[in-house]
Amino acid sequence: MTMAIRLKENKAKRSLNRGSVAFGTMVTSVRSPQVAEILAAAGFDFFVVDTEHHYFDMSQLADMMTVARAADIVPLVRVPDTLYHLMARPLDCGAMGLVCPRVETREQVETIIQCTKYQPEGQRGASLSSIHTACQKIDHLEYMRWANDETMVVIQIESRRAVENIDELVSVPGVDATWIGPFDLAQSMGLVGKWEAPELLECYDRVIAACNRHGVAPGIHLKDTASLGRWVGRGMRLATYSTDAGLLIEAGSKALGELRALVPKG
């Protein structure tokens, strides 16, 4: 049997594999699938739908993933936990990768790989997702090879323990990138609000160094361009800026400030 369609390439993963930087944002508030087209039009390489802290259901995910694939932007999903059904279902809904929170041990990472990869790399339940295949017939083995190659696995580093274990975490085959969560990492260290504390910044550098040793892309999520740009300069490559709500507020506030400044003074 030959494939009727050409399965899509994960462009963000390809970019990271080349040593380049991929820029994205997080979707936390906009539930319309058109958010994928909007972010693609803005030029983002990927976006992350946050189902850990926000209110998206599977039907909304499926709609967003479908539109994202047509808009040629890579859709990722941050899952609530590293349990099989919470990881496998978003992938079957069309996600091209997962961001997995609160990862601290090698055993957790090994479980993530087993749940997200098909044989021979893992034990993910077989599903020729209609979204991935555009409802067309494909060769089963070719689909499984494609899914294993193109699915992007990102582990979040958001605790002191995770940083201490970083070499163990990123040395597991199948991990593509890390993603530092500054707020939770700072919280675990008693440093909330002290974003420039040397101990916190040292953790960022430690993660970058470990990722580089093991061929994994280091990443971080920050809410201002100056900080994110600085850390991209220091080696962060999965660069995530702000959120959908943050982008809207930022752009709206800037435009309104400029407009109000033009109002004639009475």
Q: Does 149 fall in a domain? A: yes
Q: Does 266 fall in a domain? A: no
Residue 139 or 46, more confident: 46
Q: Does 204 fall in a domain? A: no
Tokens at 40, concatenated = 């693609």
CA–CA gap between residue 146 and residue 49 (Å, rounded): 22
**Residue 98 belongs to domain spanning:** 11-154+223-254
Tens-place pLDDT, residues 239-252? 999 999 999 999 99
Overall number of domains in the chain: 1
Q: What is the pLDDT of residue 189?
A: 96
* Confidence check: pLDDT of 2 > 60: no
Q: Does 196 fall in a domain? A: no
Percent of the chain with pLDDT over 90: 90
Q: What is the pLDDT of residue 5?
A: 57
CA–CA gap between residue 195 and residue 186 (Å, rounded): 8
* Average pLDDT for the chain: 95
Q: Tell me the mean pLDDT in the region 101-105.
A: 98
Reported confidence tier of residue 4, pLDDT bands at 50, 70, 90: very low
Tens-place pLDDT, residues 54-71? 999 999 999 999 999 999
User: Residue 45 sits in a domain of what CATH number?
Assistant: 3.20.20.60
Q: Does 263 fall in a domain? A: no
Tokens at 83, concatenated = 């349990």
Q: Does 115 fall in a domain? A: yes
Q: What is the pLDDT of residue 130?
A: 83
Reported confidence tier of residue 183, pLDDT bands at 50, 70, 90: very high
Q: Does 19 fall in a domain? A: yes
Q: Compute, in degrees rounded to 10, the torsion defined by CA atoms 48, 49, 53, 57.
A: -160
